[in-house]
Structure 1
Amino acid sequence: MAKGTLSLVGFSNESLNVNISSYGDTITVNNLFNTVKQQISMQKFSFLKQKLKSGFSQLPYLVKAFNLVWQAAKKWTVIWAILLIIQGLLPVATVYLTRQIVDSLVAALNVGVSQEKVIPILVLVALMGGVLLLTQVLGSFLSWVRVVQSELVKDYISYLIHKKSLEVDFAFYESAEYYDRLHRARQDAFFRPTALLENSGSLVQNGITLIAMAAVLTQFGVWIPAALLISTLPAFVVILNYSKQNYNWWLKTTADERRSWYYYYLLTEKDSAAELRIFELGDYFQSAYQSLRRKLRAEKVNLAKNESLANLGAGAIALLITAFALTWMVWQVLQKRVTLGDLALFYQAFNQGQTLMRSLLQNLGQVYSNMLFLGNLFEFLELAPQVIDPPTPRLAPKNLNQEIKFENISFWYPGSQKTALENFNLTIPSGKIVAIVGANGAGKSTLLKLLCRLYDPQQGKITWDGIDLRDLPIQNLRRLITVLFQQPVDYNASVAENIALGDLLATAKLPEITNAAEAAGAAEIIDRLPENYNTLLGKLFAGGVELSGGEWQRIALARAFLRQAPLIILDEPTSAMDSWAEADWLERFCHLAKGRTAIIITHRFTIARRADIIHVMSDGEIVETGCHDELLALGCRYAQSWKSQMQVN
């Protein structure tokens, strides 16, 4: 016989190679068959071992998920568990009562119907009706308990996600990887834990019933429970295999899913509505959305098709084993080895047993699948911030008495190769209005983020009256600062609430809110609104009133002014105002800032000229410093930019 390699198809659809040269020329078909059989068995074992190992690796998430459910709904989880146990035993009672009723009927028919024979049968029928009624009642009650559990768990998970979103560093929000994680955590967070709980509950309930059914079937032969197990194993393997494949596909397509949602947002939200119409971009983004969805849909449908074919094959195997078992049992009846009641019991027990076994293994597969997806939620919840409170914090000051100093600061944004600041030094004296001007990308807003500890510098330190900011509790530090960001949030709430959000701890009353609005130059705007300070702003909710960009900015300024912090930081505070409104606001601000320290980041030199000190930044460095007149006399960058702006104006 020629030597060579025999290639077969193995259990996991991989090529199985048997080297037949080692047997020499005297190889027999029997030896070859045994060798192939042995290798296939090893490959099957290896495949199942790999699947089980993958499943066991997810077990920590199962424990965490149950702990999460327990924390959210302790009382309802106890009630749920009790109901599951009772429901798990009721089908066994139904099977036994069925046999008793059938055997009693056969006996009564054989000897003749009489009152003595009918009454016990009616009692059995009544018991059967009671069991069925109890099953329905408990099922309805269990459905209600699951809804209560589900809502409590959803709200608890929302709380955890929101809490973690507020805890993580600001840097996370500038990372695409973070948004992928958030998308994966958020997408399945609300139903996966309850789905896992429901699957696990069904697993327990079906397991209890199945054990009892197996005990019933054992009287007809110990091979019958084994046949049940064998008939459902192919379906179990299919579930494990395709659960993993679906999960891997979901991970791979996270970025595409997020992009499709982005296109969806552009096509449906107000922020982009005007540009989409003016530049006729609707068809472009709609086409991009549909193209992406076609790709995702085709991949998902193909995966579902393969899974359906695999399930069809597994179902065919189960059907063959069922047919064999039923044929054997009918033969036993014909041989008068068992009664008709035994046949009814066997049919119900085997049929329910197979359904239960299939459900049990499906539940195991679904538990495994849900654990895979829940891994993303728990990975998100385990994200650890780097900007944290010091282990031994110093007592936070109540005011700024001397100065803020940036000392030899070097900083680069996470994931960036470019240094934003390098060996940077700057002193901001207390009680002064300091303007920082410069081109886009000069590093002005970076100073704001470092000062608020949204980031920490990689080298150097920032001090507040000589205290390193990293030695202060973060919350206490931020209470010392009030900020107007370049793009403040337009809250869809009442005017009073919009302003009061600047200092919730102060529980501001209307007089304080009114004073802040006056200081920001927003009072006249508010007086024109239909309900003044009670007017709902924004068009997101019914009855809301929309403001212009400059009017929204005045409301945001009032919110910043409400907090009586020793340090005021304004990032482009008048970018949405016209020159008349700007001049009015500037007078108000200079009056408000007396006795406090203010940092104004601006492109407008008409704002900067009113500052006590002006710093000109370029490429992460301070290149000029002085008051307005001093910088004009210097005749360098500031003076040239001033002349350019004045000519334009």
Structure 2
Amino acid sequence: MNIVRELIYITRYIFVSAYKHGSKFLVYYTLFSITTSLLPFVFIIMPKLLIEELMTTCRASHLLLIIGISSLIYTLIIMLKNYFNAKSVPCFVSFRYELTMKHWEKTMQKEFESLEDSENLDLNNRALRAVASTGQGFEAVLKKHFELLSNILSILGYGLILSKLNFFVIILIFLILSLNFFVDFRAKQYDQKLNVALSSTQRKEKYMKNIMNDFTYAKDIRLYDMAKWIRCEYETICNKIVSVQSQIMRRYLVSSIFTIVTNSIQLAIINGYLIYRVIVKSIMIADLVMFFSTINRLIESLGRCIQIVTEILKEFMIIKDYKLYMDTNPIEENKLSLDTKIISNIKFENVFYKYPNSNQNILENISTIIEKGKRIAIVGPNGSGKTTFIKLLLKLYGVTDGAIYLDGKNIQEFIPDTYFALFSVVFQDVKVLAFSIWENVSLQELNIEDKAKVIDSIFKAGLENKIKSLPNGVYTNLLKIFDENGIDLSGGEKQKLAIARALYKDAPIVILDEPTAALDPLAEHEIYSNFNTVANNKTAIYVSHRLSSTRFCDSIIVFDKGTIVECGTHSDLLERNGLYANMFRMQAQYFI
């Protein structure tokens, strides 16, 4: 695809996206552009008429009439311009928000693996620039197109006025502007090239800024005296960004100096020519004033057109990144749905997994069956592959080789949302939202009909006493981001909240990934004692380092170095005297 076809393609994509959002604001901004293009002619024609009247009959009534009509036209144009702008601005904002939501939805649809890939993260960072602000991306390009339309309409009017002059003047103007366009375009290309190379550094800067402003890092920063180190790292990143921006601005400085010099030469030649025409009496003083004003505005409009085009070309690169991001990992059609109430077994068959762009297997030849209604423990040393196994089961990762089957069908054949509905998962790293406890459990808007279910889930998870101690109960907001009276839960309370969230979802398969890691011994015992109630005859998968918690499980799968090395009940594995028995004895010695 050559550059012209690509520009047409991207332009069509922008305007089709805007039209789908709503055609009204395109109409409003078109009318805004037309009224804007008319405004300069008031200041071109009115002085000519006034000077002609002053140099001929000089009638006061005619002078007042010219001023009055001009003021009326000017007021009407300004009022229409402001009206159309006021109508269109909210539409632009809502359009940008819609594109932001589409970007987020696309991120949710992407393969989970891609969210950990640095190239995808850089592309995502560049794509976000297309919807980040009014001065970038879609909104900027649309407005610049309409500004271009306004300037073109004005240029056509200027051309009609200047048609009486020598055609040489027009040729000179376009020649100088062509040179300016070339220089400015090369500067914009240089700008885009360096910004693309800078995207990973900008992502690091954003990450470091988040660390400096995130409350969760505040204790470590103070206790470990991290401030100097973080400041040093942040300054290094910022210095690199500033260095690149300085290179870009030096290029723009050269471009602007070139433009200023060529425009000055151009104006000197044209103004000299106009004065010559007055001396030889081929044009009147009033015409000279009109031509002066028109030529200056023509040069200004043509120059602005060049800037707009180069700015649009630069923004096209950003929108191209947005479209590329949106077009990757398209949603596959003809996926199967499933009924979560009638699922049976999940089977891993000779499953291998390695990370993208890696040659090392994280999991090798994994074969096992997760039977409906069973309680299964996943244990093993750190880095043995337990978490990767869970991510494959959840279809967050895709297998490198082999397959995972749900009731005989490859899990890749199922619609992701319907497959995810099978699982209630509690990860060790619990994320709470700056909303009410109720909303953090139900993950939806407040609904009085769900109150009993929310309360039941909270009580079963062991948060009853905490909720009763709060003046607003389940309506209490978490964190102080939006509510100064918001509370911050302890690590154990967050874990219980996550368990309540999983209970509320009421999925047929429960996965607990170190759910008691942050709990005190009494709370841990409470969770273990009520595990059968929590699981509620569901299939339960329990990932743990604390082997004392595996006694209640029907089967224990032991991982080591990416493979399953043992499988059986607690008593069976102790009798085999293998890795599990060794790990169990090592932990038991601290409690005997």
Q: Could you tell me which amino acid in structure 1 is paired with residue 250 of structure 2?
A: K
Q: Distance in 1 between matches of 2:334 and 2:3?
A: 39
Q: Distance in 2 between matches of 1:500 and 1:98?
A: 69
Shift of 1:248: 0.6
Does the CA-based 8 Å contact 2:42-2:74 persist in structure 1? no
Aligned-pair Cα RMSD in Å: 2.2
Q: Which residue of 2 aligns with 1:20?
A: none
TM-score w.r.t. length of structure 1: 0.86
| Gapped regions of structure 2 (runs ≥ 5) | none
Does the CA-based 8 Å contact 2:44-2:294 persist in structure 1? yes
Shift of 1:395: 4.4
Shift of 1:94: 4.3
SS of 1:377's partner is: helix
Q: 1:441 to 1:344 in 2, by over 3 A?
A: same
Q: Which of 152, 165, 169 in structure 2 is aligned with 1:220?
A: 165
**What is the CA deviation profile of residues 74-128 of structure 1, one whole-angstrom value per residue up to 9, with x for unaligned ones?**
212101102312332343354334323322221115xxxxxxx443343222222
Shift of 1:614: 1.1
Q: 1:472 to 1:220 in 2, by over 3 A?
A: closer
Q: Which residue of 2 aligns with 1:602?
A: 544
**What is the CA deviation profile of residues 276-296 of structure 1, one whole-angstrom value per residue up to 9, with x for unaligned ones?**
111111011102211221232
Q: Which of 246, 249, 261 in structure 2 is aligned with 1:301?
A: 246
Shift of 1:69: 2.5
Q: 1:165 to 1:509 in 2, by over 3 A?
A: same
Does the CA-based 8 Å contact 2:32-2:85 persist in structure 1? no
Q: Which residue of 1 aligns with 2:55?
A: 106
SS of 1:420's partner is: strand
Does the CA-based 8 Å contact 1:59-1:371 persist in structure 2? no
Q: Which residue of 1 aligns with 2:584?
A: 642
Q: Which of 29, 44, 53 in structure 2 is aligned with 1:95?
A: 44
SS of 2:361's partner is: coil
Shift of 1:641: 0.9
Q: Which residue of 2 aligns with 1:138?
A: 80
Q: 1:154 to 1:397 in 2, by over 3 A?
A: closer
Does the CA-based 8 Å contact 1:73-1:152 persist in structure 2? no
- The reply to whether residue 536 of structure 1 matches residue 480 of structure 2 is no
Q: Which residue of 1 aligns with 2:457?
A: 516
- The reply to whether residue 79 of structure 1 matches residue 79 of structure 2 is no
- The reply to whether residue 570 of structure 1 matches residue 512 of structure 2 is yes
Q: Could you tell me which amino acid in structure 1 is paired with residue 83 of structure 2?
A: F
SS of 2:348's partner is: strand
Q: 1:310 to 1:593 in 2, by over 3 A?
A: closer
Q: Distance in 2 between matches of 1:218 and 1:247?
A: 39
- The reply to whether residue 396 of structure 1 matches residue 339 of structure 2 is yes
Q: What is the 5 A alignment of 1:330-369?
A: 330-369=275-314
Q: Which of 188, 191, 199 in structure 2 is aligned with 1:243?
A: 188
Q: Which of 531, 535, 558 in structure 2 is aligned with 1:616?
A: 558
Shift of 1:528: 2.2
Q: Which residue of 1 aligns with 2:568?
A: 626
Q: 1:107 to 1:56 in 2, by over 3 A?
A: farther
**What is the CA deviation profile of residues 290-320 of structure 1, one whole-angstrom value per residue up to 9, with x for unaligned ones?**
1221232123123212321321122111111
Q: Quick one: percent identity of the two aligned structures? A: 24
**What is the CA deviation profile of residues 162-188 of structure 1, one whole-angstrom value per residue up to 9, with x for unaligned ones?**
111111110111111121111111134
Q: Which residue of 2 aligns with 1:176?
A: 118
Q: What is the 5 A alignment of 1:195-274?
A: 195-274=140-219
Shift of 1:568: 1.0
Which shows bigger deviation, 457-466 or 210-219?
457-466
Shift of 1:450: 1.7
- The reply to whether residue 384 of structure 1 matches residue 329 of structure 2 is yes
Q: 1:390 to 1:337 in 2, by over 3 A?
A: closer
Does the CA-based 8 Å contact 2:492-2:519 persist in structure 1? yes
Does the CA-based 8 Å contact 2:38-2:77 persist in structure 1? no
Q: What is the 5 A alignment of 1:476-487?
A: 476-487=418-429
Q: Which residue of 2 aligns with 1:8?
A: none
Q: Distance in 2 between matches of 1:377 and 1:153?
A: 15
Q: Distance in 2 between matches of 1:432 and 1:529?
A: 37
Does the CA-based 8 Å contact 1:431-1:594 persist in structure 2? no
Q: 1:547 to 1:507 in 2, by over 3 A?
A: same
- The reply to whether residue 162 of structure 1 matches residue 107 of structure 2 is no
Q: Could you tell me which amino acid in structure 2 is paired with residue 449 of structure 1?
A: K
Which shows bigger deviation, 306-315 or 247-256?
306-315
Q: Which residue of 2 aligns with 1:59?
A: 8
- The reply to whether residue 466 of structure 1 matches residue 408 of structure 2 is yes
SS of 1:490's partner is: coil
Q: Which residue of 2 aligns with 1:414?
A: 356
Q: Could you tell me which amino acid in structure 2 is paired with residue 591 of structure 1?
A: T
SS of 2:165's partner is: coil
Q: Distance in 2 between matches of 1:61 and 1:394?
A: 35
SS of 1:610's partner is: coil
Q: Which residue of 2 aligns with 1:39?
A: none
TM-score w.r.t. length of structure 2: 0.94
Shift of 1:426: 0.3
| Gapped regions of structure 1 (runs ≥ 5) | 1-52, 110-116
SS of 1:108's partner is: coil
Q: Distance in 1 between matches of 2:506 and 2:108?
A: 24
Does the CA-based 8 Å contact 1:390-1:471 persist in structure 2? no
Does the CA-based 8 Å contact 1:494-1:533 persist in structure 2? yes
- The reply to whether residue 588 of structure 1 matches residue 530 of structure 2 is yes
Does the CA-based 8 Å contact 1:263-1:286 persist in structure 2? no
Does the CA-based 8 Å contact 1:238-1:307 persist in structure 2? no
Shift of 1:396: 3.2
Q: Distance in 2 between matches of 1:635 and 1:234?
A: 83
Q: Which of 126, 129, 135 in structure 1 is aligned with 2:71?
A: 129
Does the CA-based 8 Å contact 2:343-2:406 persist in structure 1? yes
Shift of 1:231: 3.0
SS of 1:411's partner is: strand
Q: What is the 5 A alignment of 1:272-311?
A: 272-311=217-256
Shift of 1:507: 8.5
Does the CA-based 8 Å contact 1:462-1:468 persist in structure 2? yes
SS of 1:421's partner is: strand
Does the CA-based 8 Å contact 1:519-1:589 persist in structure 2? no
Does the CA-based 8 Å contact 1:247-1:369 persist in structure 2? yes
Q: Which residue of 1 aligns with 2:378?
A: 436
Q: Distance in 2 between matches of 1:552 and 1:146?
A: 45
Q: 1:146 to 1:505 in 2, by over 3 A?
A: closer
Q: Which residue of 2 aligns with 1:14?
A: none
Q: Could you tell me which amino acid in structure 2 is paired with residue 510 of structure 1?
A: K
SS of 1:58's partner is: helix
Shift of 1:430: 1.7
Does the CA-based 8 Å contact 2:28-2:88 persist in structure 1? no
Q: Distance in 1 between matches of 2:253 and 2:332?
A: 53
Shift of 1:505: 12
Does the CA-based 8 Å contact 2:514-2:545 persist in structure 1? yes
Q: 1:495 to 1:397 in 2, by over 3 A?
A: closer
SS of 1:456's partner is: coil
Q: Which of 464, 467, 473 in structure 2 is aligned with 1:526?
A: 467
**What is the CA deviation profile of residues 563-621 of structure 1, one whole-angstrom value per residue up to 9, with x for unaligned ones?**
22221111111111122211111111123324221111111111111111111111222
Q: Distance in 2 between matches of 1:181 and 1:507?
A: 42
Shift of 1:348: 1.3
SS of 1:417's partner is: coil
